[in-house]
Every structure is written in structure tokens, then in C-alpha cells.
Amino acid sequence: MTFPDERTVIVTGAGSPRGIGRVTAHRLAAAGWSVGVLDLDGAAAEAVAAELRDTGAAAVGLAADASDPAPVDAAITEVERTLPPIVGLVNLAGISSPKPFLEETVEGWDRIMAVNLRSVFVMAQRVVPGMIERRLGRIVSASSVSAQRGGGTYSKSAYSASKAGILGLTRALAREVSEFGVTVNAIAPGPIDTDIMGGTLTPERKADLARDVLVGRVGTQDEIAALIAFLLGPDAGFITAATVDINGGLQIS
């Protein structure tokens, strides 16, 4: 199918002022996408959407717990009502967990699994039927180098397990929907200077995190957003079920 000029992308977890989601939303808006900004913090989501509208883009910002089907359905229904058809989904909602394995609780484990992994299932299940109907869709979900290395950056077991689950879900979903023109991919970032790393990185923490990174530094939100934008675009139609590393050489696959 010809890639439509009028198309919408949903970006979850995009309300954080220093997050990858906000930067990604801006890059996609600049590339011609209409953007549905979803975040647990509805005011933050609307603030980002307002920034996008100030640039001339069509955008809405909505509050939604991406792991809960009812608010997700309500939010997506509003996006469908106000914006062009949904072609893209970017799953960036996530929380970190620096607790060691023996200190983690069942409640903490379940919360991390819900925010990081169940949200991908809930979001995809809501938008995939429309993508199949139109025979065009792009889904990109944020895993992590921690899924591949078993932690080693900031978060530990629960986070790494949730991000590893995204890799399995990505591959399985791609098997089911790629024949309908829907590609499903994951990205695996290394250390990025965002608040999910426990707050703004000091120069000392950046140096420590970059110690084993071949390019000698942590990554930026813009670099992750650029990769996401490519995977969402018309030139990425032959890429599906892939895990794309973007870690500066911290993990060599």
C-alpha cells in the first residue's frame, strides 16, 4: 500500500520533559505525522501536544495508563475521532527498577511488568485490528540493552526481564501480522541521558556508564528518535521481527 500523507502515530510515555517520547513526538511531527501523545500524566501529554500544534502539526494529548485496556480504548477512540488513521505505534512507556533481586517485591515486580510489558500488549491489541484492515502498520517498542546483558547499566532483574519480554512479544506478534502489511520491531538502547536512569546524569555518572561503550559516551534522545522515525517510515517495510541495537557498542550482537 502507498504510504499515506495523512497518518497518525501514537507515542506512549511521551509526557516527560526529558524523555525519549517527547523528542520522538517532535521528530515524527516534523516528518509529517499527526501525533497522539499518551502519558499517565494527562497535563504533561497535552503540554507536549500543544508544543506540536505550535509547529503546525496535528496532535492530541491524552491521559492513559497504557497497561489498562479501558483508558487505552477511550484514548485511542478519541485519537481515531480527531486525527487521521493510525499507522504507527511507538511503545515508550516504562519505569526503571534499580532494586537487587533479593530486595524486589512481588508488588514491585508486577508494577514493572505492567508498565513495561503489559502496556505493549494492551496498546498493540487495540490498534492492530485497524492496521490489519488498512493493510499498513508500523509498531516499534523500546526494549533495552539490559534485556540482552542482564542489567549492568542502572536497573536490575525485574526491569531486564520486562524488557526481554518485549523482544519475545515483538517477534511473536510480527509472525502473526506481518503478512497484513504490519511490521513489528524493537529497539534496544544502551545508556541514554534520561530521567529513567535515576535522574539527570552528572558528568561523573556519564563517564561511568560510558566506560564500556565503544564510542565513549552515552546516547541522546535524538539518536533514539531518529531510529524510531526510520523504522516507522516507508523505507522500513522489509524490516520486521527485528531487534535493532543502538548502544554505542556496549553490546555486540
Which is the catalytic residue, given 159, 163, 182, 247?
159
Cell of 114: 505492567
Whether the CB-CB separation of 24 and 11 falls below 8 Å is answered with: yes
Range of the domain at 115: 8-246
DSSP SS3 for 66: coil
For the stretch 140-195, pLDDT in tens is: 999 999 999 998 777 789 999 999 999 999 999 999 999 999 999 999 999 888 76
Number of domains in the chain: 1
Whether the CB-CB separation of 108 and 213 falls below 8 Å is answered with: no
| Residue 3 is assigned to a structural domain of this protein | no
| Residue 252 is assigned to a structural domain of this protein | no
Q: Please state, in angstroms and rounded to a whole number, the distance separating the CA atoms of residues 91 and 121.
A: 10
Q: Respond yes or no: is residue 159 known to be catalytic.
A: yes
| Residue 251 is assigned to a structural domain of this protein | no
| Residue 2 is assigned to a structural domain of this protein | no
Q: How far is CA 227 from the centre of its chain?
A: 11
| Residue 208 is assigned to a structural domain of this protein | yes
| Residue 154 is assigned to a structural domain of this protein | yes
| Residue 162 is assigned to a structural domain of this protein | yes
Give the list of residues 6+ apart from residue 80 with CB closer than 8 angstroms, or none: 86, 130
| Residue 79 is assigned to a structural domain of this protein | yes
pLDDT for 199: 59
For the stretch 19-37, pLDDT in tens is: 999 999 999 999 999 999 9
CATH label of the domain that carries residue 135: 3.40.50.720
Mean pLDDT per 10-residue section of the chain, whose length is 253 residues: 92 93 98 98 98 98 98 98 98 92 96 98 98 98 95 86 98 98 97 70 77 92 97 97 97 88
